[in-house]
Amino acid sequence: MLLVFNRVGERNPDHTVPRLQELTRHLWQGERQRGGPLLCDRRIPIIATGLNQLRQLGAAGSVLLRFGRDHLQPRLEAIGSPRREAVDIRRKRRPRAAGRSIRHRYGGQPRSRP
């Protein structure tokens, strides 16, 4: 969910955004599993920005604040998943034996091909 604030009237987004984070925490914050990862199933990513920031820096600039994070980010980082990205990086770094099957790596015998 993307919230775009326009500075019109008395309301100050610097006070409104933290208040919205507290009121909507149950919608976006994951649940820590005992000894395991953060579970984010059925959670809604909420992202906020200001209309003036969008006009000045564009959608590709660091103008988006995803609730639960402490800094402004560009669009792709704000909507991305740091956990998934970390897993992808680890997978790329891990050496893989060429031609080995999953069964072979976990103790099973590879099937012979006819």
Buried b (16+ CB within 10 A) or exposed e, 38-47: eeeeeeebbb
Model confidence pLDDT, tens digit, residues 4-55? 988 887 877 788 899 999 999 999 988 877 877 777 778 888 999 999 999 9
> Could you tell me the two tokens for 54?
């969008």
Phi, psi of 57 (to 5 degrees): -110, -15
Banded pLDDT at 106 (limits 50, 70, 90): low
Predicted model pTM: 0.64
> Could you tell me the two tokens for 26?
């149950």
Provide the β-strand partners of residue 3: 48
| Residue with the larger pLDDT of the pair 113 and 13 | 13
Provide the β-strand partners of residue 73: 64
